[in-house]
């Protein structure tokens, strides 16, 4: 049996790094008593993968874990056992069964949606959003393994919109190209000349190449 498991990483745990989160998930699975699969070798670990690492400092509303199980379990049973085993800052949203040979969750991710919650006035910064969207290109530098490298941010930003003082972004997240929320922020700061406002970033969802949320068709966990 194989599942896509949807969970929420609460803002309180937004500084938990990717590897630490992986370990937390493994320990939660051990606590749950569910029939997990182990890797071979001297230090066996539970087989699971997280669809896309979250940047440290970012919360996640609809994160996806790809989890094979050694034996089939009832969905209701899975949701209840795993939901109870998670620490308070990680909430189980739901799960769906996927074919054993389906593409990995990681392989399906193509884009993500991000919400920028500003803790201080960001009007000046947000005023630059239309300007950014009107541009054809936005060259930027980013750090790569071979030092600084230039890339074009603009085509990797599929959309930006402002509602009630919050910024919502649809950003590329695939091996061909990735736009980071921090880079969008930087671009808007450059265009507007505004200082960086205090904010909390939340990745609100993961999308496939057809811009369909990965969680589509999931069974919701009880609250």
Partner 1 sequence: MIKEINRKIEALLDKVEKPSRYLGGEMNAYVKQKRPGDLSFAFCFPDSYEVAMSHLGMKILYDILNRSEHLLCERFCMPWFDMADGMRQEGVALFSLETRTPLRDFDVVGFTLQYEMSYTNILEMMDLGGMTILAEDRKEEDPIVLAGGPCASNPEPMAMFVDAFLMGDGEESILEVSECIRQMRNDGAKREDILFALSQIESVYVPRFYQAAYHADGTLKSFAPTRDKVPHRVKKRIILDLEHAAYPEKMPVPFTQVVHDRIVLEIMRGCTRGCRFCQAGMLYRPVRERSVEKLLDLADRLIASSGYEELSLSSLSSGDYPCLEELIRALMQKFEQKKVSVSLPSMRLDSLVKQSLKETAQVKKSGLTLAPEAGTQRLRDVINKGVTEEHLIRAVSDAFQVGYSQVKLYFMIGLPTETDEDLMGIAEVAKTVARCYFATPKDVRMPGLRITCSASTFVPKPFTPFQWAAQDDLQEILRKQAFLREQLKLKSTFFNWHEAELSILEAVISRGDRRVGQAIYRAWQLGCRLDSWQEHFKWDMWQKAFDDCGLQMDFYAARRRPYDELLPWDFVDIGVTKQFLRLEMERAAGGAVSPDCRQGCLGCGLKRFEGVCV
Note the residues at the interface with partner 1 (CB under 8 A).
11-13, 15-17, 20-21, 23-24, 26-31, 33, 38, 42-45, 56-57, 85-89, 119, 198, 200
CB of 88 or CB of 147, closer to partner 1: 88
> Is-contact 33 46, C-beta < 8 A?
no
DSSP 119: S
> Is-contact 126 167, C-beta < 8 A?
yes
DSSP helix/strand/coil, 69: strand
What is the radius of gyration, based on Cα positions, of the chain? 19
CB of 111 or CB of 167, closer to partner 1: 167
CB of 25 or CB of 172, closer to partner 1: 25
Closest separation in Å from C-beta 122 to partner 1: 14
Token output for 22: 């992986």
Token output for 86: 């998670």
Q: What are phi and psi of 95, to 5 degrees?
A: -155, 160
CB of 33 or CB of 217, closer to partner 1: 33
Closest separation in Å from C-beta 131 to partner 1: 26
CB of 59 or CB of 98, closer to partner 1: 59
Closest separation in Å from C-beta 49 to partner 1: 18
Closest separation in Å from C-beta 31 to partner 1: 4
Helical pair 75-85 and 18-32, crossing angle rounded to 10 deg: 120
Distance CA(27)–CA(184), nearest Å, equals 35
Closest separation in Å from C-beta 167 to partner 1: 17
CB of 149 or CB of 196, closer to partner 1: 196
Distance CA(174)–CA(11), nearest Å, equals 24
Closest separation in Å from C-beta 193 to partner 1: 22
For residue 203, give the nearest of 176, 177, 182 by alpha carbon: 182
CB atoms within 10 A of CB 188: 23
């Amino acid at each position: 049996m194989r599942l896509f498991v949807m969970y929420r990483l609460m803002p309180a745990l937004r500084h938990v790094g990717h590897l630490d989160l992986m370990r937390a998930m493994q320990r939660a699975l051990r606590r749950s008593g569910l029939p997990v699969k182990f890797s071979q070798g001297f230090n066996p670990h539970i087989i699971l993968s997280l669809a896309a690492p979250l940047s440290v400092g970012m919360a996640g509303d609809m994160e996806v874990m790809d989890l094979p199980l050694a034996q089939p379990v009832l969905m209701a049973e899975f949701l209840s056992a795993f939901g109870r085993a998670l620490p308070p800052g990680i909430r189980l949203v739901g799960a769906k069964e996927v074919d054993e040979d389906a593409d990995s969750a990681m392989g399906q991710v193509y884009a993500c949606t991000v919400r920028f919650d500003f803790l201080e006035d960001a009007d000046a910064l947000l005023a630059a959003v239309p300007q950014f969207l009107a541009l054809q290109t936005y060259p930027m530098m980013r750090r790569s393994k071979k030092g600084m490298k230039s890339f074009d941010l603009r085509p990797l930003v599929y959309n930006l919109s402002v509602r009630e003082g919050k910024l919502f972004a649809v950003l590329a997240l695939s091996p061909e190209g990735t736009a980071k929320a921090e880079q969008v922020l930087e671009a808007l700061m450059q265009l507007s000349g505004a200082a960086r406002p205090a904010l909390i970033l939340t990745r609100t969802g993961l999308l496939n190449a057809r811009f369909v949320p990965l969680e589509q068709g999931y069974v919701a966990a009880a609250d």
